[in-house]
Amino acid sequence: MPELNPRATALSIPGIRVFSNQVQLFEDGVNLTIGQPDFPTPDSVKNAAITAINNNKTGYSLNAGIVELRQAAAEFFADKYNAHYTADEVVITNGASEALDSVLRTILTDGDEVIITAPAYPAYESLIKLNGGVVKYLDVSDTEFVPNIEKLDALVTNSTKAVLLNYPSNPTGASLSEKDVKDIANYISTKDLFLISDEIYSENVYENKHISFGSMENIRDKTILIHGVSKSHSMTGWRVGYTLSPRHLSDEILKVHLNNSICAAVPSQYAALEALTNAKDFPKVMNEAYLKRRDYVYERLIKMGCTVEKPGGAFYIFPNIAFTGMDDWDFATALLKEKHMAVVPGSSFSEHGAGHIRISFASTIETLEEGMNRLEAFVKDLS
């Protein structure tokens, strides 16, 4: 048997999928694991794809994506976030996941270090390692899930190639203030580092306005933004993401992308075009519901005795369950077994998430009520 790539064989199934798969074995299971909006894709977006198919727009597009979509993405970021790019500085990808993979393939050589704020989305570590990089975690669990500049500086070495940030954050729901963004940008401006900013949840924010790193002119030449329509327009299965970066970077990312997948699915690109133009305000509809769900879950968790930060964005909440005396993985396993309810153990998001669980509130309020009732009963049983 020929030897497989050890980087691939070292991968494991993420805890998110482990518990999501297991809860489906129960007919009465409550699944609060997956980060997927429960809203249908807007009708006008679906119709745009249908029209594209009926008009036989089903062949290859330009490798970077159809021009209209790249222009729309650039205008979307200019209008919403004061981040200015041209259509030639946008690369349309098969979801934000492929965007990130293409970026990492473009910038990393073996042994390059990438600093990630942690708790962190598990795929970041996997993709970095698959591309020969080394992960260094910046622990934000004791700084309200926001990066501390001194702690960041302590991790930077001559081998550090990039800092990868994800705000609003999966799994914590934390957002960055304008001061946070400026402080980080000022620091990055003094270093020979790339900043990769995954802002896929930028449209899912609540009390405060999202501040994009793309608006920081002092680091524009080394900033790469990751975005897409999966979360903003409930289009997870359409697989459309994109990168925004200055031309000297986007040209290189494009070469990696086109060798990887040629182009994103063309009917999906036309659907995304509709999403970023005529349906660009659709996230407001979802956010009204998310805000009510967030507040409901937050209040229930507080009453149960959890220590928890109220998330400013995304649709996750990350309560500390250490008061129960249980390890987070054991807690989630027992909750699933006894109450047929699935959450994600915090340690799935690195060791810095230990003692927590992630709950997705991208479900109906009725589902969340049942889930919180089961969680409360489980916690009471422990005591």
What's 272's domain CATH number?
Answer: 3.40.640.10
Phi/psi of residue 93, nearest 5 degrees: -125, 170
**What is the reported pLDDT for 138?**
98
**What is the reported pLDDT for 11?**
86
Find out whether 336 and 33 touch, Cβ atoms under 8 Å: no
Phi/psi of residue 289, nearest 5 degrees: -75, -40
Residues 202 and 114 in one domain: yes
Find out whether 195 and 224 touch, Cβ atoms under 8 Å: yes
Residues 159 and 296 in one domain: no
**What is the reported pLDDT for 1?**
86
**What is the reported pLDDT for 266?**
98
Residues 248 and 363 in one domain: no
| Beta strand 316-317 pairing with 341-342 | unpaired
Residues 252 and 332 in one domain: no
Among 224, 244, 276, which residue terminates a domain?
A: 276
Q: Is residue 188 part of a domain?
A: yes
CB-side neighbour CA atoms (13 Å) of 272: 35
Among 276, 291, 313, which residue terminates a domain?
A: 276
Judged on CB neighbours under 10 Å (0-12, 13-18, 19+), 257 is buried
Indicate the number of domains in the chain: 2
Residue 10, Ramachandran bin (φ over 0: left; ψ between -120 and 50: alpha; else beta): alpha
End-to-end Cα, the chain, rounded Å: 53
**What is the reported pLDDT for 363?**
95
Judge if pTM exceeds 0.85: yes
Find out whether 318 and 358 touch, Cβ atoms under 8 Å: yes
**What is the reported pLDDT for 204?**
97
Q: Is residue 173 part of a domain?
A: yes
Residues 303 and 286 in one domain: yes
Q: Which domain holds residue 107?
A: 44-276
Residues 90 and 201 in one domain: yes
Residues 180 and 248 in one domain: yes
Find out whether 57 and 380 touch, Cβ atoms under 8 Å: no
Find out whether 165 and 30 touch, Cβ atoms under 8 Å: no
Residues 253 and 336 in one domain: no
Residues 221 and 343 in one domain: no
Pairwise CA distance, residues 202 & 241, whole Å = 13
Residues 255 and 336 in one domain: no
Pairwise CA distance, residues 105 & 128, whole Å = 9
Pairwise CA distance, residues 353 & 213, whole Å = 25
Residues 36 and 54 in one domain: no
Q: What is the DSSP letter of 118?
A: E
The total of other beta-carbon atoms located within 10 Å of residue 207's CB is: 9
DSSP 9-54: HT----HHHHHHHHHTTSTT-EE-------SPPPHHHHHHHHHHHH
Phi/psi of residue 165, nearest 5 degrees: -115, 150
Find out whether 262 and 60 touch, Cβ atoms under 8 Å: yes
- Using DSSP's 3-state secondary structure scheme, residue 368 falls into helix
Q: What CATH number is given to the structural domain containing 19?
A: 3.90.1150.10
Q: Is residue 344 part of a domain?
A: yes
Q: Is residue 229 part of a domain?
A: yes
Pairwise CA distance, residues 188 & 205, whole Å = 25
pLDDT digits (tens, 9 = 90+) for 209-267: 999 999 999 999 999 999 999 999 999 999 999 999 999 999 999 999 999 999 999 99
Q: Is residue 1 part of a domain?
A: no
Q: Is residue 100 part of a domain?
A: yes
Helices first, then strands: H and E counts in the chain: 13, 12
Q: Give the chain's largest Cα–Cα span.
A: 63
**What is the reported pLDDT for 130?**
96
**What is the reported pLDDT for 13?**
81
**What is the reported pLDDT for 14?**
82
pLDDT digits (tens, 9 = 90+) for 54-65: 999 999 999 999
H-type helices in 263-344, by residue range? 266-276, 283-304, 328-339
Among 276, 297, 332, which residue terminates a domain?
A: 276
Place of tokens 């622990």: 139
Q: Is residue 37 part of a domain?
A: yes
Q: Which residues of the chain have pLDDT under 70?
A: none
Place of tokens 């659907």: 271
Tokens read off for 125: 């570590």
- Residues with Cβ within 8 Å of 343's Cβ and at least 6 positions away in sequence, in order, are 19, 32, 33, 332, 335, 357, 358, 359, 375
**What is the reported pLDDT for 15?**
80
Residues 258 and 320 in one domain: no
Find out whether 315 and 204 touch, Cβ atoms under 8 Å: yes
**What is the reported pLDDT for 174?**
97
